[in-house]
Amino acid sequence: MKKNNTESLICEALENIRNDRKIAREFLNEIANQITNDADQNKYLSPVAAKHIETMQRSNEQLVKLISLRQKGNEQSTELTEADKNNLLDFIQNKGNELDGQLD
pLDDT per residue as tens digits for the range 24-35: 889 889 998 998
Asked if residues 93 and 51 have their Cβ atoms less than 8 Å apart, the reply is no
Taking the domains of the chain in order of start, what are their residue ranges? 3-103
What do you get for the CA distance between the two ends of the chain, in Å? 49
Cα separation, 76 vs 35, whole angstroms: 49
Whether the pLDDT of residue 39 is over 60: the answer is yes
Is the pTM higher than 0.85? The answer reads no
pLDDT at site 77: 54
Residues in the chain: 104
Encode pLDDT of 42-95 as tens digits. 888 888 888 878 877 887 787 788 778 777 766 655 578 888 888 888 888 887
Whether the pLDDT of residue 99 is over 80: the answer is no
pLDDT at site 33: 92
* 45 φψ region: left (φ > 0), alpha (ψ -120 to 50), beta (else): alpha
Cα separation, 87 vs 83, whole angstroms: 6
Whether the pLDDT of residue 102 is over 80: the answer is no
